[in-house]
A and B are shown apart, each in its own frame.
Chain A
Amino acid sequence: MKEYLEIRIPAKPKMMSLVRKTISQACELVGFSSRDVYAVTLAVDEGCTNIIRHSYGECSDGQIIIRIRMFPDKIVILLRDFGSGVDLKKLQKKLRKRKLEIEKEKPMKPGGLGVMLIHSTMDKVQYKTSRKSGTVLRLVKYLSSDKGEKIAGKG
């Protein structure tokens, strides 16, 4: 099975509900547990939120292209935008800081929380930025992953 679905949405906060529904249904098709469905949905939501807030700015007319690829053992989701791009050095620095806070068991500050949640819930997280094709965030989640266990089912 190598099927994919692609949707193009306006980079608007009100679209997030539709994105979550689409992602959770795709995850259910692959066979993820409710815990992992929540984890993947959260990661995609956070990725789109970062695009809306940081890459485009909240009042933009920009678009987000979401490609969902379903495999027997994993789901691969690409989020593409054509905004200001991602400063990878800054992102890595923020992530290292957040990881350190977790290691030292310090409560995290809200800034960078979304990026941290993406990394905590997904198995692979990759960014690629180019002027021609925009910024792509690639998220991978495997079916038997342990990371999803951190996010429980819906109560």
Chain B
Amino acid sequence: MQVKVSQENDFAVIAVTGDVDLYSSPEMRKAIADVCKKKVPLVVVNLEGVEYMDSSGVATLVEGLRLTGKYNGAFRLAGLKTAVREVFELARLDRIFSIFENEEKALGKG
């Protein structure tokens, strides 16, 4: 799994590629926590390159939502593959996340 973070003044994009599981999710967790420490107003996690995610990955994103909520920031998910999205749907977590078709739309540019 690879995590690439790009940050502007008022937003950050965390682009994740590969499988997110118990082994790899700590890296994504660290990237999210680092961005949240800076209280970036809008955090977008781009999951376009993620083919597989298990409950460890989902829990990590729930943590991101909680961290941004602490400082009234926005936490958005973008580019979820159908299978990954349906893991969220099974857990009814698709209702608590703001999920966008792609990164541009999540950033309000689409």
Measured CB to CB, the closest approach of chain A to B32, in angstroms, equals 14
A-B contact count (CB 8 A): 88
Contacts of B55 in A (CB 8 A): 46, 49, 110, 113-114, 117
Of all chain B residues, the one with the shortest Cβ separation from A108 is B91
Give the residue among B23, B59, B62, B93 with the most A Cβ atoms within 10 A: B23
**CA A61 – CA B34 in complex, angstroms?**
31
Looking at chain B's contact residues, the main secondary structure is helix
A102 part of interface (Cβ distance < 8 Å): yes
Report B-chain residues with C-beta under 8 Å of the C-beta of A109: 62
Q: A residues near B, CB below 8 A?
A: 13-14, 16-17, 20, 35, 38, 41-42, 45-46, 49, 52-53, 101-102, 105-110, 113-114, 116-117, 120-121, 150-155
**B54 and A107 within 8 A (CB):** no
Contact check, A153 vs B82: say whether CB atoms are below 8 A apart. Answer: yes
Interface centre among A52, A110, A153, by most B CB within 10 Å?
A110
